[in-house]
Amino acid sequence: MPSRYIPILIYAILAAAFPAVTLIIFKFIRPDSTSAGAKLKPYECGIPPESDARGRYSVRFYIVAILFVIFDVETIFLFPWAVQFNALGLYGLVTMFVFLGILIIGYIWLYKKGALEWV
């Protein structure tokens, strides 16, 4: 049934056309920016960079990112529980609170260890 795929085809054409059309239109209406100097900067938008991009970052960035990944992904178990909340009832609720309790203990441990302090 190829006819069922026509919406996808239309969507694909639109998706391809949108950037092409906008780029062409803007080509005609925007002012020339290459001479302004901002074009030559590493980041064209926002604040001008203060130092070399390959400088040292505080290791805190990595630690916070790693911690974020864990706590973020653990919430995945909340979704099936929320969808089946009525069917799981009290048992599900208690189990989920035990699970969240363990996560909170992990958080307390992190806090006491000073992993979240921004030195």
Positions 70 through 89 that interact with another protein (CB under 8 A) = 70, 72-74, 76-77, 80, 89
Rounded-to-integer distance, Cα 61 and Cα 63, Å: 6
Rounded-to-integer distance, Cα 81 and Cα 60, Å: 33
Site string for another protein, 25-64 (x = CB under 8 A): ----------------------------------x--x--
Residue type, 18: F
Q: Which one, 36 or 102, has the nearer CB to another protein?
A: 102
Spatial CB neighbours of 33, under 8 Å, sequence gap ≥ 6: 39
Q: Which one, 12 or 108, has the nearer CB to another protein?
A: 108
